[in-house]
Amino acid sequence: MDLRILIVDDEATNRQVLDQAVRAFGHTTTLARDGPEALALLAAGRFDAVLLDLHMPQLSGLDVLERMRAEPGPNQDTAAVCVTADVLSRRPDEYLDLGFQAFLAKPVQIAKLAAVIDRVTAASIEDQRQQRTAAKLAALRRRMDARPPQ
């Protein structure tokens, strides 16, 4: 399944590694160098998941996540994955408490990256499926209500 993944990292090498891996999984990627660029991209189009470097100048990954959740837009509920080399400041479950759906330590292991993308997008894919079904049912009800009585 082709997913749209936003990769946000201030280090070009990290962006390139994540980009090549995610594209090798068959997904489409968009790259951002920093938090402000990420927020602009998040406001402009829908993504299935966001891979966010935690420590970036200007806006951290946590800052981006908080704004993404607070501001109405197409990605307000999009799954966000914390990607960081800082494994000493917090335990992985603490990142989940901050609002991330998953945590990946750098250097990222490709198998873990694939598993995390599959896990965090499974719920959003199911939500999308349910929303489409609900929309179809609503449209069918409107058609049924609009039909003249026989």
Question: pLDDT digit string (tens) for 75-85?
Answer: 999 999 999 98
For domain 4-125, give its CATH number from 3.90.1720.10, 3.40.50.2300, 3.30.70.600, 1.20.1250.20. Answer: 3.40.50.2300
Q: What is the pLDDT of residue 102?
A: 92
Question: pLDDT digit string (tens) for 47-72?
Answer: 999 999 999 999 999 999 999 999 89
Pick from 99, 27, 93, 115: nearest CA to 7: 27
Question: What pTM does this model have?
Answer: 0.81
| Domain residue limits, the chain | 4-125
Q: What's the average model confidence in pLDDT over 96-121?
A: 92
